[in-house]
Structure 1
Amino acid sequence: MSHAGGPGDDKDRHVDDPDHAGPDIFRFRQGDSETAMKRRVVVVGAGLAGLASAVALERHGVEVVVLEARGRLGGRVHTWRENGHHADLGAERVDGDHRRVHALAARSAVPLVPVDEEAAALDDVLMFDGVTHRAAEIHEGPIGAELDRVTSHVSALAAQLPRLDDPTTHPEARSLDARSVGDLLDELAPSADARSIVEQRVRSEGAVEPHQLSLLAWVHQVAMAEAKPADQIESHRLRGGADVLAEALSSRLSAPVRLATTVLAVDLHAAGVRATTEQGGVEADAVVLAVPPTVVGQLRFEGQVPAVIEQLSKLPMGDITKRLLAFDTPVWRASGWSGHALIEPSSFVTWEAPAPEVLIVYAGGSAARRLATMPLAELVAALPPAWRTGPPPREVHTAHWGSVAETGGAWNAPTPGQVLPTWHVLRRPHGRLHLAGEHTAARFSGFMEGALESAERVVSELAG
């Protein structure tokens, strides 16, 4: 839950100049009209998708009520702050082609700043069974050749995708969706060390185990990544933390978000909709469900319930954990290391927070729960030796998204056989029901950009 940049002067323009910041869903498009919009809309969920939908709908003259079960805004966009330091517990980095995030940040006067260039000039670590290696050494050796073989195979599959916004158009879509990433690794049979690195990547970026992830979903993700220059991937952060975007959106609403308001049931009937909460009910002409699939499965639906609800409630969410460790100083830099490490066989990844003395330890898939429950001393012992040359770190926060009831995971991770039957139904309206959230984005699923992309589509649906 969770990029940016661009070459030369263009990078600086699209980050800082509103006139070059990309699409703005908060402005009318030609053909839009207030009279075409539903009169009142209830939005369930105050993450970026729900908030962006609400702000844009109000711009179109719609009365909007936003309901949020948590006592805070942002959903999976959440920032830890202490003594002037901060670190993102969920979505964090922004890619260069995340134009909606760039536009929203520019118009909200929230600077996008490059990731630490000093750290980028230092070496990354790959650690196998306690032995530290420079990442470049591994990639230049026999393991690197095995990785290249796997990567080339997946890249060749990704290159066949004719439309980045629709993986179902892949000529081998049915075959790919029927298999898992683990199935592909079994077929290619890379060396144990190379397979370990690939599996770690799947856990980190897919948030599930390789055998749990549809190969079609993975090929789509690779195609998206390879469609942009490498220096535009995860190149920026939002100054002050990612959840400043949620605060900026909320400040534009005419009425405050109703926090700590859990929706229990949604009644879809011919005359309208009703969202029932512990505090009462909200009547509206349409409802936008801007919550993760796991949350949809917890709601009670009544009346004219579309079939998509059952499909949506069965979509799995991946799992990630971030643990924040505070050091006196970034001791790894003294040894020439960047703070970025891949640690095997634990499948942990580390990198520096905006304050470099705060280290983020990250894991996805089955490793997420291990990281969340591991004693601090054991975790520190698992770090590379250069990370342990000074006083032991202090743990400041743990975020295990799989254990958060209001979320139930990190982001959507389709299992084999799930992409084809759900892709189009998740991305269109169903009567008075509209679906938002990164899991309904066509191009940027799993990203803040995807949340905003889905909001743009929802507003277009309601304007039609």
Structure 2
Amino acid sequence: MNTPPTRQADVVIVGAGLAGLTAADQLSRAGHDVVVIEGRDRVGGRIHTVEVAGVPVDAGATWVAPHHVAVRDLVSRFGCEFVPQFHQGKGVMSFGGKRKIESATSMAPWGMLDITRILNDLQKMVDDLPVSAPWEHPQAAQLDSMSLGEWLTAKHALKDTRKFLTMFSLVQWGAPVSDVSLFNALRYIKNLGGIEFMLTVEGGDQQDRVLGTTHSLVSKLADTLEDRVIVNSPVERITTVGDRVTVETGRHTIEARYVIVTASPTHRSTIKFTPALPQRHYGLSRSWRLGALSKAFVAYDRPFWRNEGLSGEGMSDNETVFLTFDVSPSADGPGILMVFCDARGFDAYDEDERRRRVVKHLVHMFGERARHAVDYTDFSWGNDVFAAGGPNPAVGPKAWTTFGPYLREPVGLVHWAGSETADETSGSMNGAMLSGRRAASEVAARLDAGQ
């Protein structure tokens, strides 16, 4: 008597992040009946808003690059606006506890030469790598046999070079260089447009933010689907019988012709598939683990660092804080620093200790005025209750060449999406949208063919 009623649809989409909502939007506008099932009590996935000093800020995905056309089209569609990432002034660097203002002499000449050498060598390998079916590259097995850290050791990278690449690895994959395959790093860099682009604000990967937050954009997209989006309903089972697939949660049962799963590869394993997925798909779930990245937001009356000629950008090898940006709404205040935190020196502590550690290092970076914060908040993706981890998979050695071919290979009536599956701008909001479009097109073709 307590069995939930069965709902009918053409396509069920698991996950109401940007990939899932994009797929649902495309299929719905093509005349197909869709239902989106989301386990969290909100839409957005790894796009999430928190508030500090009364200002909404992005705890998850934040930036939009100039060539992120899919996101820019969505912003235009809903009449939203962009705000440029604040970038005026000098940055602050701190390695080994020594603080320096960014300048031509902020790092020893041999240090800069070595960083340039290593980045150039990486980029040369990136240029020859295909983004589609990268495992077919003639050197794929060799490049995938070592971690990025092991490669740096083999290249005799200097200590500061290794620290710089560690920061780069933490912000991209939420993991140190020792945990990430060299091959994964190369493919990801190629996918996003190159190292220089990834490190650039104006004209690069961190150029713009959505005015308000990116979650406001996702909410507008979800609103167009009305009651076809169901939240707070984790999918427990997906069963295929003949030409129909049934998706079950504790509260809902939906029968459809196809399903698109947008959960990250590691979280696909939380769903019981009947019949079981091929074994290598489970190997993919085990090896394609997500990293862990945390953000803190510290608010002040005003962005005082601007008066000192500083941009609010900071780079550090501190065990807690490794990167900062100014996300203040205006020069009049409040001043807000967005702080990227290494989960290994952050997630295990309670909020008071996390705040103490963050503020202490901001005082080191930006001076005594940084001690007088008016508000603080943070978000640890590694401690997320529903689907821990982020921002991207920290794919270890040999995982790409072993399991990469199964990342988005359909299994019967089950198709896959999610930013990780994109061949272009993977790991970004734009990549998520492109993956949703690709999966929707795959399913639409089968629906239109009457399969």
Cα offset, 1:48, TM superposition: 0.5
Cα offset, 1:225, TM superposition: 3.0
Q: Deviations over 1:199-227 (max 9, x none)?
A: 12111222112111110111122333328
- Report the residue type matching 1:402 in the other structure: G
Match of 1:177 among 141, 144, 158: 144
Q: Does 1:330 align with 2:303?
A: yes
Distance verdict in 2 for CA 1:385–1:441, change over 3 Å = closer
Q: Which residue matches 2:101?
A: 134
Q: Which residue matches 1:408?
A: 388
Q: Does 1:344 align with 2:313?
A: no
Match of 1:431 among 394, 412, 417: 412
- Report the residue type matching 1:427 in the other structure: R
User: For structure 1, which segment, 165-174 or 413-422, has the greater mean C-alpha deviation from structure 2 after superposition?
Assistant: 165-174
Q: Is the 8 A contact 1:328 1:391 kept in 2?
A: no
Q: Which residue matches 1:106?
A: 76
Cα offset, 1:338, TM superposition: 1.1
Q: Which residue matches 2:123?
A: 155
Match of 1:252 among 209, 217, 224: 224
**TM-score, normalised to structure 1's length?**
0.85
Q: Does 1:168 align with 2:138?
A: no
Alignment of 1:74-85 (within 5 A): 74-81=44-51, 85=55
Alignment of 1:266-415 (within 5 A): 266-303=238-275, 305-307=277-279, 309-314=281-286, 315-346=288-319, 348-355=322-329, 357-364=335-342, 366-367=344-345, 369=347, 374-383=353-362, 384-389=364-369, 392-410=372-390, 411-415=392-396
- Report the residue type matching 1:179 in the other structure: M
Q: Deviations over 1:242-284 (max 9, x none)?
A: 1122112112215241111111111122131111111142111
Q: Deviations over 1:110-165 (max 9, x none)?
A: 1122212xxx220011112332112333356221111112112111111222x344
Match of 2:401 among 384, 409, 420: 420
Which residues of structure 2 form unaligned runs of 5+?
Answer: 1-7, 446-451
Q: Is the 8 A contact 1:52 1:452 kept in 2?
A: yes
Q: Name the count of aligned residue pairs.
A: 423
Distance verdict in 2 for CA 1:83–1:391, change over 3 Å = closer
- Report the residue type matching 1:417 in the other structure: K
Match of 1:218 among 170, 174, 185: 185
- Report the residue type matching 1:382 in the other structure: H
Cα distance in 2 for residues equivalent to 1:386 and 1:149: 30
Cα distance in 1 for residues equivalent to 2:314 and 2:381: 22
Q: Is the 8 A contact 2:322 2:341 kept in 1?
A: yes
Cα distance in 2 for residues equivalent to 1:86 and 1:39: 36
Cα distance in 1 for residues equivalent to 2:349 and 2:210: 26
Cα distance in 2 for residues equivalent to 1:397 and 1:332: 20
Q: Is the 8 A contact 1:320 1:365 kept in 2?
A: yes
Q: Is the 8 A contact 1:54 1:66 kept in 2?
A: yes
In percent, how many aligned pairs have the same letter? 26
Cα distance in 2 for residues equivalent to 1:456 and 1:53: 5
User: For structure 1, which segment, 366-375 or 58-67, has the greater mean C-alpha deviation from structure 2 after superposition?
Assistant: 366-375
The secondary structure found in structure 2 opposite 1:69 is coil
The secondary structure found in structure 1 opposite 2:274 is strand
Cα offset, 1:353, TM superposition: 1.7
Alignment of 1:433-448 (within 5 A): 433-448=414-429
- Report the residue type matching 1:454 in the other structure: S
Cα distance in 1 for residues equivalent to 2:400 and 2:350: 29
Cα offset, 1:288, TM superposition: 0.9
**TM-score, normalised to structure 2's length?**
0.87
Distance verdict in 2 for CA 1:371–1:184, change over 3 Å = farther
Q: Is the 8 A contact 2:15 2:38 kept in 1?
A: yes
Distance verdict in 2 for CA 1:187–1:304, change over 3 Å = closer
Cα distance in 1 for residues equivalent to 2:402 and 2:68: 27
- Report the residue type matching 2:316 in the other structure: I
Cα offset, 1:306, TM superposition: 3.8
Q: Deviations over 1:387-410 (max 9, x none)?
A: 432552144321111111322211
Cα distance in 1 for residues equivalent to 2:417 and 2:173: 20
Q: Which residue matches 1:33?
A: none
Distance verdict in 2 for CA 1:164–1:440, change over 3 Å = closer
Alignment of 1:116-131 (within 5 A): 116=86, 120-131=87-98
Cα offset, 1:460, TM superposition: 1.5
Distance verdict in 2 for CA 1:432–1:339, change over 3 Å = same
- Give RMSD over aligned pairs: 2.3
User: For structure 1, which segment, 268-277 or 297-306, has the greater mean C-alpha deviation from structure 2 after superposition?
Assistant: 297-306
The secondary structure found in structure 1 opposite 2:225 is coil
Q: Is the 8 A contact 1:204 1:365 kept in 2?
A: no
Match of 1:65 among 35, 40, 44: 35
Cα offset, 1:198, TM superposition: 1.6
- Report the residue type matching 2:275 in the other structure: G
